A and B are shown apart, each in its own frame.
Chain A
Amino acid sequence: MSAWLLLRKDLRVLRRSPLLVVVLLAYPLLVAGLVGLVAGYATSKPRVALVVEDELPRTFVLGGHHFHVDRTIARVSRAVKLVRLSSGEAERELRTGKVVAVVTVPRGFVADLRGMVRSPRLVLETTHGGLSPRVTQQVQALVYSLNHELQAAYIESNLRYVQLILHGGDGSFLGRKFQILGLDGTEQELRHLPSGPRLDAIRQFVRDARLALAQTDDALRATANPIQLVHAPEHGRTWALSAQVQAYALALTISFLTLVLAAGAVAAERDENVIGRLVRGLVGLGELVSAKIMLAALVSLGVGLAIALAFGVVIQVGGVTGGEPWSRLPLLCVGLALAGASLGALGTLLGALAREPRTASLVSLLVVLPIVFLGLVPREVVPVAGYLSDALPFAHSVRFFGAALYDASPWGVVAREGTWLVGLAAAFAAAARVGARRLLA
C-alpha cells in the first residue's frame, strides 16, 4: 500500500517535470541514433590499397570475353574501397592505418591469367587487430567475385577446346596454332576403313566419347558452381526497420531512461529530506525500493509501448512484410515491464549508493554506457563481454524483445530471457534494499 502511494507520488512528480521527461526521452533516442550510425559505419567499406606491379592493360580478352580492367575491378570490389597506390605509398598508409589492407598484383599476373595453366596470384597484407579478420573476409569476397567473373571466361575457353575435340577445326594454345580432326572427323575417317572387331571397338569409343563430351557444357558449369547463390528479387526490411534494430532501440531507450530515473528518484527522497519521515514506520526501505522499481517498470512499459507502436505504424503504412508487430504487443509488454523492473532495480541500487541526485544521475549515465556497449559486442568476438553482459539486463532485454516481436516460436527465448530478467531484478533489488540504508546516513 505504501509503495503504491509512493509510486503515485513519483508519477505525479514526473508529470510535473516536462523538461526532465523530454530529456529522458530525447537523450536515449539520440544515443540510439548515434549507435545506429556507428553500426552503419561498421558496415561501411574499408579502404584497401591496390598495388599493381604488373602491366595491366586497359582491356584484355580471355576465353573470347573482353574485360575492361577498371570496370571489372569496380564491379567486383563492392565490399571495399580500392585505391590504387604505389608499393611505397601503400606500405606507408598500411603502417599509419589509412588503409586497412594492401592487395598487390605481382609481376606475371596477366601472363598467368592469359595462359590459363597456372592460377595467377594476388598478395594480401592486412593490419593486425580487430578489423583484420573482417578485411580478410572482404578481400576474399573480392577475389571470389573476380574469380566468378573469370570463371565464366575460363569455362567458355575450356568448352571451346571441347568443341574442337568434338567437331575439329583450328585452335591455339599458349600462342601456338594447330588444326585438329575432332571426333566427328575421326568417325567419318573410320567409316572408310574395313570392318573388324578392333575397328568396331574404336568406333564404339568415338561414339561414347561424343556422347559424353556433348554433356560437358552443363557438367563443367555445375562443377564450377557446386552451390549457386541466387539473390531473391523480394525486398527484405530496410536496416532501420529490422527486428534487431527495433529490439536494440527499445532496450537502449529503456536502459537509459529507467536507470537514470530510478537512481534519481531514490536519491531525491534523501535530497528532499523525506527519507527520515518515511522510514519512521510509514514506509519500509523494502517498500521504498519496490516503489522505485515499479516506477521504472511502468515508465518502461509506457515509453516502450509508444516506441513499438510507432514502429508498428511505420511497418504497417510501409507495407513491410515479416513479423507480427500488433499480435505480439502483449508479449512485448511483459518484456518491457520485466526489463524496466530489472534496470530499475539496478538504478535504485546506484541511486542508493550515490545518495545525492546529481551524483546518482551522473553515476547511472556512466554505468549505462558500458552496460549497453557490452551488450552490443558480439559474444563470438569477445567472450568475456558476453559473460559480463549476462549479468546485466541489457542483452537479455534485447533478446526478449527480438524474440517477442519476430520469432515464429518465441516461447523458449522469452522464457529463458524472462527468467534472467526476473532473477537480475531480484538480485539488484536485494542489493538496493541493503544499499538503501546509506540513504539514512
Chain B
Amino acid sequence: MWRDDLRGICYIALKDMKTYYLKPPAISWGIIFPLAWILAFYLRNPRNFEDLVPGLIAMTVLFSTTALEAVVINFELRIGALERLLLAPINLSAVLLGKLLGGVIFGLLMATLVSLGTIISLGLLQVRVLDLAAVLLLSVFVFSALGTLICVSVKEVFEAQTLANLPRFLMVFLCGVFYPISAMPAPLQSIAYLLPLTYTVEGIERAFSGTGAAVSAYHLLVLAIFIVIFTLPAMRLLRRRFA
C-alpha cells in the first residue's frame, strides 16, 4: 500500500507542475508579487539592500508556496478533480502530500532563483550553502503546509488567496522581514516568535552571516514542528470534507 501511496504522491506532484505552474494566480502571487517587492526595495535603497536579502528570500518562500497551494488545491476542489484523486487506490494523506509537494517544488525553485540571483549580483559569497539549503527546504514544507491548511477550508482560488493574505501580511510585518524583531515592542516580539516566518528569516540571516552564529538545530526543529502543526489539521479538514 505504501508503494501505491508513494507512486500517487509523485505523480500528483508531477501532474500539478505540468498543469498549474503557469496558471495566472500562481504567476501573479507566487512569482511577480515577491519579485516586484524585491525590485521596489532595491530601487529605493540599493546601498543597504544586502540587509534585506534574508527577509526578502523568506517572503519569496512564503508567497510562492502559499500561492501555488491555492492553485493546486482550489482549482481541483472547484471542478471536482480532487475527488478523482480520492477515488484512486491511494490514501487521502498521500493525495494531500502530493498536493503539498507541488507547492514545495515551486517554492524551492523560486527560493533558489532569488537566492542565487542575490548571492551572485551582490557578491554574497560568504553564505553557508548547506545551512541555507536546510532552512529553505524546511521552510518550503512549512509554508506549503500552511497554504494547504488554508486552502482545504475554502473552495475558490480567490477565497484561498484572500484568506492566505491574513497570515502572509501579519508575518511579513512581524517576523523581521523588513524591520528587526529586536526593535519591536516586547508584546509584538512574543507574537513574532509564535510565527514560523521568524525562524525562516533568522535561519537565512545566520546562513548569510558568514563568520557569525550558524543555523542552530533549534531553528530547524521549530520549523519541523510547524510542518506537523499545519499538516495534521489540513489532513483532518480534508477528511471531514469527504466524510
A is bound by B? no
A-side residues, CB < 8 A to B, are none
B-side residues, CB < 8 A to A, are none
